[in-house]
Amino acid sequence: MMKLEDIRREYTKGGLRREMLADSPITQFENWLQQAVDAKFADPTAMVVATVDEHGQPSQRIVLLKHLDEHGFVFFTNTGSRKAQEIKSNNKVCLHFPWHEIERQVIVYGEAKALSTAAVAKYFLSRPQESQLAAWASQQSRPVSSRKALMETFHAMKAKFAKGQIPLPDFWGGYCVEPTKIEFWQGGEHRLHDRFMYIKQDDGSWQVDRLNP
């Protein structure tokens, strides 16, 4: 058995100071996301979405950020999925962007609000055809007997929608996570990391606090 306690490294890629931060956390996030894209990460928009069920049990999964503006962070999913059902009963969620290669992470706390059908349809129709078919084929989060059964359903959907535009499934939707707090974390030497928390105020402005590592 490997000695896990011996796996460690120093974080030396740079610090983060208050004067380096944008006034808006959305602007600050866009700046960091662009740097992650420029660094050619495999999945710079990948984020962990954490939700909580009716028993207080948290669950997490990785999805892709598909839109960002002053209102918040947008992702899409099957509305019958576990995350969608948990959001239905408790729309407070947490997003986590782990950019290990540049020793950064961003944590977003907020509320998930359902997108309009028009917004969902616009994105759905922009997806590759195979992704559209996969949305029809998958009863997300529910048991399936085998990979073979899943592929048979996929091919059945492909035959069904062979002609014309693939319609938007009535069980497919999207959410905008409207942030109330956003933390920016930059690794530091000796585990003295730099952490700044933006907290939304009643007037819409953002208070910025430095946090202990």
Active-site positions?
191
Q: Please give the C-alpha separations between residue 113 and each of 18, 55, 59, 163, in angstroms, as whole numbers.
A: 31, 21, 18, 34
Q: Which of 26, 183, 211 is nearest to 95 (CA)?
A: 183
